[in-house]
A and B are shown apart, each in its own frame.
Chain A
Amino acid sequence: MSGARAGSARTEHGPGVLVAALSSAFGVALIQGTGLLDAAAKADPVTGASDTVGALLRVTSVVFIGVAMYSGAVVTTNTFSVIVAGRVRQIALRRLLGSTARAERGAVAREGLLVGLIGAVIGLVLGSGGVAAIAAVARAAGVLADFPYSYANPTALLPAAAVVLTTWLAAVVGSRRVLTVTPMQALGGAEERSEEEGRASRLRSGAAVALLSFGALLLFGGVAIGAVDPLGLLVAFSGGIVSFTGVVLGAHLVIPRALRIVGRLMGGSATARLAAENAVRYPQRSTRSTVGLLVSVTLITTFAVALRTFGDMITIASGDDPVYYAGVDTMLTTVTVVFSVLIGFSAVIAGVGLVNALSLGVLQRTRELGLLRALGFSARQLRRMVLAESGQLVLTAVALGLLLGTVYGWAGAHSLIGAVRGAPALWFVGLPWPVLAVVVAGGVLLTLVASVAPARRATRIAPVEALGVE
Chain B
Amino acid sequence: MIERLVASASSYAPDIDGLILLIAVLVGFWFLLTEAVFFWLILRFRARDGQRAEYITGEEKSQKRWITIPHLLVLVCDIFIVVGAVRVWYEVKQHLPEAQQTVRVIGQQWAWSFVHPGPDGRLDTADDIKTVDELHLQKDVTYHFELTSRDVLHSLSIPVFRLRQDAIPGRVIRGWFRPTKTGVHDFQCAEICGIGHGIMAARVIIETPDEHAAWMAEHAPTTSLAAAAVR
- A and B interact physically: no
Chain A residues within CB distance 8 Å of chain B: none
